[in-house]
Amino acid sequence: MAIRRKLIAGIASSLSIMLSGAVQAVAEMNMRPGVTETSIEAYELHMLVVWVMVAISFVVFGAMFYSFIFHRKSKHPTPATFSHSTKMEIIWTTIPVLILIYLTIPAVSLLIKMEDASDPEMSIQITGSQWKWHYKYMDQDIEFFSNLATPREQFEDFNADGQTKGENYLLEVDNEMVIPINTKVRFLVTAEDVIHSWWVPEIAVKKDAIPGFINETWTNIPTPGTYRGQCTELCGKDHGFMPIVVKAVSKENFAKWVASKDAERLAAEEAAAVAVAASWDLDKLMALGKTAYDAKCAMCHQVDGSGVAGAFPALKGSVIATGPVAAHMTMVVDGSTGGMQAFGKQLSDAELAAVITYERNAWGNNTGDTVTPADIQAFKAGN
């Protein structure tokens, strides 16, 4: 008796452990409900459809399996001879129509809500480019790039096993998008080069970034937190390495953040002025240049300047990197229609100068030229 009770208790408890494990697993397997009103509604609609589909499956597959069991030849040697029934055809046309109407109604109202970006309290322009995001706060004087922050060594070389991957491997950035909670934020999504798509699952916002057009979408996040997403439109080589991080903070903290960004900008402007005034020699430029190059350029032109055949030209021995300086500056600062981005705004004048100097002297491009931040300033002014 006691043993039996123990056994039952044991089975029950292990069952419940398994069950809770299963529930947890189910939670990881399923769509995340997210945090905004629309994301939760999308989740609910998703669950509704799932259950409707499960129900239909039971009926359809149930009938099939009934046939497999009871109408197999060994059990049911003489087949029936019917082969048509208008009544049945009408029934199984009508019922699906009704089910679909039932599903369409909530879908229509949610869709209309999701696409209504009117009356925003603030706007952020989101620009995708290969392979980073640029955020420009339209109402605050803030703009910055947001790059993948996971060190490339963690995935780039094949024997990166020694490298431990963090919890947010590939989902971390250097500059997060920060927005206030309980505020209707409108996103103006566009792209520089190819199509990208800005997706953050937990706020159920996914909008394609189309070059030459601006798509509007919005969110209103009620709870502070960090929400991660990725680019979801194939955009070339590093499409998988273009994460998005949105940090929702209280309105007070948002104001503080804006203030800190303002201070940062002032500091950067000062640093730029200092840099122009400072004396630069080749070694100093080369050192800064290598850092900037490896961070910003190597993903296309490769660390050793060899490029990727057919896609990104080699800089080692390239005509532009060894020819007149002006053309080189134009290429880096203003970009080209052939796929080279404009780095004029992504890098400081000092970095631009350094990176150009670096390219003109590294890998055997021994031109001996130096380009200083002052040259860059002059070049930009002349533009």
Partner 1 sequence: MSDHHPTGITRWLYTTNHKDIGSMYLWFSFIMFLIGGAMAMVIRAELYQPGLQFVQPEFFNQMTTMHGLIMVFGAVMPSMVGLANWLIPMMIGAPDMALPRMNNWSFWILPFAFTLLLSSFLMEGGAPNFGWTFYAPLSTTYGPPSTDFFILGVHMMGISSIMGAINVIVTVFNMRAPGMTLMKMPLFVWTWLITAFLLIMVMPVLAGTVTMMLTDRHFGTSFFDAAGGGDPVMFQHIFWFFGHPEVYIMILPAFGVVSEIIPAFSRKKLFGYSSMVYATASIALLSFIVWAHHMFAVGMPVAGELFFMIATMLIAVPTGVKVFNWVATMWQGSLTFETPMLFSIAFVILFTIGGFSGVMLAMAPVDFQYHDTYFVVAHFHYVLFPGAIFGTTAAVYYWLPKWTGKMYNETSGKIHFWLSMIFVNLTFFPMHFSGLAGMPRRIPDYNMMFADFNMWASIGAFGLGLTQVYFLVTIIMAIRGGKKADEKQWDGATGLEWDALPSPAPYHTFSTPPKVD
Partner 2 sequence: MSTETEEKYESYYVPEQSPWPIVGAVALFFIAYGGANFIQQSTDTVDTGDASWGGLVFMAALAVMIYMVFRWWGDVIKESMDGLYSAQMDRSFKQGMLWFISSEVMFFAAFFGALLYVRQFVIPWLGGEGNNMMTHAIIWPEFAPQWPLTTTPDGTTTTGMGAWGLPAINTAILLTSSWTLTIAHHALKANNRQALLNYTSLTALLGIIFLALQVMEYHHAYTEMGLTLGSGIYGSTFFMLTGFHGFHVTLGTIFLIVLSIRCAKGHFTEKHHFAYEAGAWYWHFVDVVWLFLFIFVYLM
Site residues for ligand HEC per CB under 6 A: 130, 296-297, 299-301, 312-313, 315, 318-321, 328, 331-332, 336, 338-341, 343, 355, 359
Tell me the one-letter amino acid at 163.
Q
Shortest spacing between CB 199 and ligand CUA, in angstroms = 10
Tell me the one-letter amino acid at 106.
P
> 3-state class of 324 per DSSP?
coil
Cite the beta strand spans of 130-272 per DSSP E: 132-137, 142-146, 177-180, 185-191, 196-200, 205-209, 215-219, 225-231, 243-249
Count residues near partner 1 (CB under 8 A). 100
Both ends of the chain: CA-CA distance in Å?
A: 93
Per the CB < 8 A criterion, the answer to whether 288 and 275 are in contact is no
Provide the pairing of β-strand 122-129 with 132-137.
antiparallel
Kindly indicate which of the ranges 16-24, 227-235, 281-289, 360-368 contains the residues binding partner 1, using the contact rule CB under 8 A.
227-235
- The nearer residue to ligand HEC, 221 or 340, going by C-beta atoms, is 340
Shortest spacing between CB 130 and ligand CUA, in angstroms = 7
Q: Considering CB distances under 5 to 8 angstroms, the limit depending on partner class, which of ligand HEA, ligand CUA, ligand HEC, none binds residue 315?
A: ligand HEC
Q: Considering CB distances under 5 to 8 angstroms, the limit depending on partner class, which of ligand HEC, partner 2, ligand HEA, none binds residue 60?
A: ligand HEA
Nearest one of 123, 146, 124, 114 to 133, comparing CA atoms: 146
- The nearer residue to partner 2, 192 or 294, going by C-beta atoms, is 192
Cα(211)–Cα(239) distance, integer angstroms: 16
Question: Which residue's entry shows tokens 């490029």?
Answer: 307
- Classify the C-alpha dihedral 145-146-152-155 as positive or negative: negative
What is the 8-class DSSP label of residue 5? Answer: H
Rule CB under 6 A: say whether 62 interacts with ligand HEA: no
Strand (E) or helix (H) holding 197: strand 196-200
Q: Which of residues 76-105 bind partner 1 (CB under 8 A)?
A: 76-85, 88-89, 92-93, 96-97, 100, 103-104
Q: Which of residues 27-56 bind ligand HEA (CB under 6 A)?
A: 56
Among 10, 213, 266, 287, binds partner 1 (CB under 8 A): 213
* Peptide bond connecting 280 to the previous residue in cis, omega within 30 degrees of 0: no
> 3-state class of 227 per DSSP?
strand
Kindly indicate which of the ranges 29-37, 120-128, 267-275, 347-355 contains the residues binding partner 1, using the contact rule CB under 8 A.
29-37
Shortest spacing between CB 336 and partner 2, in angstroms = 13
Cα(55)–Cα(41) distance, integer angstroms: 21
Rule CB under 6 A: say whether 120 interacts with ligand CUA: no
Rule CB under 8 A: say whether 192 interacts with partner 2: no
**Can you say how many angstroms the Cα of residue 86 is from the centroid of all Cα atoms in its chain?**
52
Among 117, 148, 181, 242, binds ligand CUA (CB under 6 A): 242
- Sequence-distant (6+) residues with CB within 8 A of 117 are 186, 216, 217, 218
Question: Which residue's entry shows tokens 């322009």?
Answer: 125
Among 239, 247, 284, 290, binds ligand CUA (CB under 6 A): 239
Give me the 80-109 binding string for ligand HEA, x by CB under 6 A, dash otherwise.
----------------x--xx---------
Q: Considering CB distances under 5 to 8 angstroms, the limit depending on partner class, which of ligand HEC, partner 2, partner 1, none binds residue 340?
A: ligand HEC
Q: Which of residues 101-140 bind partner 2 (CB under 8 A)?
A: 115, 125
- The nearer residue to ligand HEA, 15 or 234, going by C-beta atoms, is 234
Among 143, 216, 294, 334, binds partner 2 (CB under 8 A): 216
Per the CB < 8 A criterion, the answer to whether 210 and 190 are in contact is yes
- The nearer residue to partner 1, 211 or 224, going by C-beta atoms, is 211
The residue number with the shortest CB distance to ligand HEA is 96
Is residue 364 left, alpha or beta, with left meaning phi > 0 and alpha meaning psi from -120 to 50?
A: left
Upper half-sphere CA count for residue 135 (Cβ side, 13 Å): 25
Question: Which residue's entry shows tokens 């103006």?
Answer: 188
Q: Which of residues 241-280 bind partner 1 (CB under 8 A)?
A: 241
Residues that bind partner 2 (CB under 8 A): 115, 125, 188, 190, 212-216
Residues that bind ligand CUA (CB under 6 A): 128, 131, 196, 231, 233-235, 239, 242
Residues that bind ligand HEA (CB under 6 A): 56, 60, 96, 99-100
